[in-house]
Amino acid sequence: MSNAGTRRLGLSGAALAGLAMIAGGIALIALSFLAHQPGYPVQPIVIAVPTAAVGVLVARHQPRNPNGWLLLAIAAAVLVSTGAGAYSLLVYRQGRHLPLGQAGLIFYQLWSPALALYLLIILLFPDGHLPSPRWRWAVWAYCLLCAGYLALLIGMAADAIADHQVRVDGYGGLTVVDFPAGRFAVAQDVILVLTLLLGLSFVVRQLLNWRRASGLRRQQLKWLASGAVVSVTCAALSVPGATQSSGVWAWLNDVLSVGLVALPASIGVGILKYRLYEIDRLISRTLAYAIVTGLLIGVYAALVAMAHTVVSYRSPLAVAVATLAAVAVFNPLRRRVQHAVDRWFNRAHYDAEAMISAFATRMQGAADLDGIRADLLAVTCQALEPAHVSLWVSDSQDTSAPAVTPRER
């Protein structure tokens, strides 16, 4: 098929997939309200919508890149699985006499194998090509493991249905599948260990690529790594609240689920090469504000504790004093932390600012035009690293200035 035909096919396929995702999201929200759990689809929608949006963009612009279609498959599986869980709640929790209740229990099992495809996308990032032909066997093995895991989950669900052991949890999944036993538990452990080992090999491969990469490819891999770190951190922190339906942990779980958007978003930025070189600034700002937030929380708690020893425990004065103090120290603390973070994690930006600041200091007492010109050219080459730089001075005696080509580093 020609490139034009492939592009038209990608555009039409991406448009149809986008419309299907919208319809699936609307149906999912309707099912959650019917099941009297309006907050039920929040986390799946937070995961599925950005994943589907990035998948549509990649499929439209790069229809030959399998990553876009894999992202769409993940989003579709998450929506279908969540919708099936809501349908199971209607049938088995509320006793609605609806058809195909058992099918809902089967389709609910799509969730875990679908999310496992993210590791395959990490290996194929950014252009959808394998690092080398030797990795083809690893991809096939990983796909077979994901398919085997899905078959195992469906087998456990079918076995529970046949034995009339249909008891669903708060998400519409079978409790037997959540806590397998016997041969199912052994098979699940084996599959999960092998899948994890292969997935880790994909991550290690990209880390090695990042160490050897430079320029554009290095920025792409930096976006991928940053998004993966944020998503994994949020997922790890939300684990304690995963089984809670209410309370602080449940609220924290919903808030942290927003961090899962980082992985599909970073994949989209890396593949489409959109503002790649803003990643250093983004990392430094994120680290700085995270550190400042932690320090302010500590300062606020310490001031409240100290104020409570002076005034009445129930007095709002302690909270007011602590709040004003935290506001007063915010900007000075942020500047100091940002300065320190830039020195360690955004070194190029920090060095450029330091060079320009030192140049401005030297120029305050400078009088030699030739020295100023040479210094300006040197600072420009070091801070900006242009391919070519020249300086023109409007002077009746000397109207030309030498051009300078920076030396290769």
For the stretch 110-126, pLDDT in tens is: 988 888 999 999 999 98
Residues 170 and 65 in one domain: yes
The answer to whether position 37 is within a domain reads yes
Q: Which pLDDT score is estimated for 24?
A: 79
Domain at 133, CATH number: 1.20.1070
Number of domains in the chain: 3
The answer to whether position 238 is within a domain reads yes
Query: Which residue, among 324, 250, 340, has the nearest Cα to 292 in the 3D structure?
Result: 340
pTM over 0.75: no
Q: Which pLDDT score is estimated for 149?
A: 93
Residues 123 and 237 in one domain: yes
Counting residues of the chain whose pLDDT is more than 90, the rounded percentage is 14
The CA-based angle 321-324-330, given to 5 degrees, is 135
The answer to whether position 88 is within a domain reads yes
Question: What mean pLDDT is predicted for residues 373-401?
Answer: 63
Residues 78 and 120 in one domain: yes
Residues 268 and 363 in one domain: no
Instruction: Provide the pLDDT confidence category of residue 407 given band limits of 50, 70 and 90.
Output: very low
The answer to whether position 218 is within a domain reads yes
Tally the C-alpha atoms within 13 A of residue 303's C-alpha that lie toward its C-beta: 20
Residues 25 and 166 in one domain: yes
Q: Which pLDDT score is estimated for 73?
A: 92
Q: Where is pLDDT greater, at 255 or 168?
A: 168
Q: Which pLDDT score is estimated for 233?
A: 83
Q: Any bridge partners for residue 174, and if so which?
A: 168
- Decide the pairing of beta strands 389-390 and 403-404: antiparallel
Instruction: Provide the pLDDT confidence category of residue 234 given band limits of 50, 70 and 90.
Output: confident
367-397 CB burial, b ≥16 within 10 A, e <16 = eeeeebeebebebbbebeeeeebeeeeeeee
Chosen domain end from 274, 295, 318: 274
Residues 193 and 310 in one domain: no
The answer to whether position 33 is within a domain reads yes
In this model, does residue 408 exceed pLDDT 50?
no
Q: What torsion do the CA atoms of 298, 299, 303, 304 make, to the nearest 10 degrees?
A: -40
Q: Where is pLDDT greater, at 75 or 42?
A: 75
Q: Where is pLDDT greater, at 402 or 255?
A: 255
Measured CA to CA, the distance from residue 85 to residue 80 in angstroms comes to 9
Count of beta carbons in the 10 Å neighbourhood of residue 84:
24
Please, are residues 165 and 176 in contact by the beta-carbon 8 Å criterion?
A: yes
Instruction: Provide the pLDDT confidence category of residue 183 given band limits of 50, 70 and 90.
Output: confident
Question: What mean pLDDT is predicted for residues 360-386?
Answer: 68
Residues 337 and 222 in one domain: no
Instruction: Provide the pLDDT confidence category of residue 353 given band limits of 50, 70 and 90.
Output: low
Instruction: Please state, in angstroms and as integers, the Cα–Cα distance from residue 153 to each residue in 61, 150, 175, 179, 189, following that order.
Output: 35, 5, 12, 11, 12
The answer to whether position 68 is within a domain reads yes
Counting residues of the chain whose pLDDT is more than 70, the rounded percentage is 70
Question: What mean pLDDT is predicted for residues 65-70?
Answer: 91
Residues 241 and 318 in one domain: no
The answer to whether position 281 is within a domain reads no
Residues 191 and 308 in one domain: no
Measured CA to CA, the distance from residue 149 to residue 158 in angstroms comes to 14
Q: Which pLDDT score is estimated for 275?
A: 73
Residues 95 and 132 in one domain: yes
Residues 324 and 357 in one domain: no
Q: Where is pLDDT greater, at 63 or 327?
A: 63
Chosen domain end from 297, 317, 345: 345
Question: What mean pLDDT is predicted for residues 83-97?
Answer: 83
Question: What mean pLDDT is predicted for residues 311-316?
Answer: 56
Residues 48 and 196 in one domain: yes
The answer to whether position 280 is within a domain reads no
Q: Where is pLDDT greater, at 86 or 284?
A: 86
Bond before 126 cis per omega within 30 degrees: yes
Q: Which pLDDT score is estimated for 150?
A: 92
Q: State which residues form the domain around 323.
A: 286-345
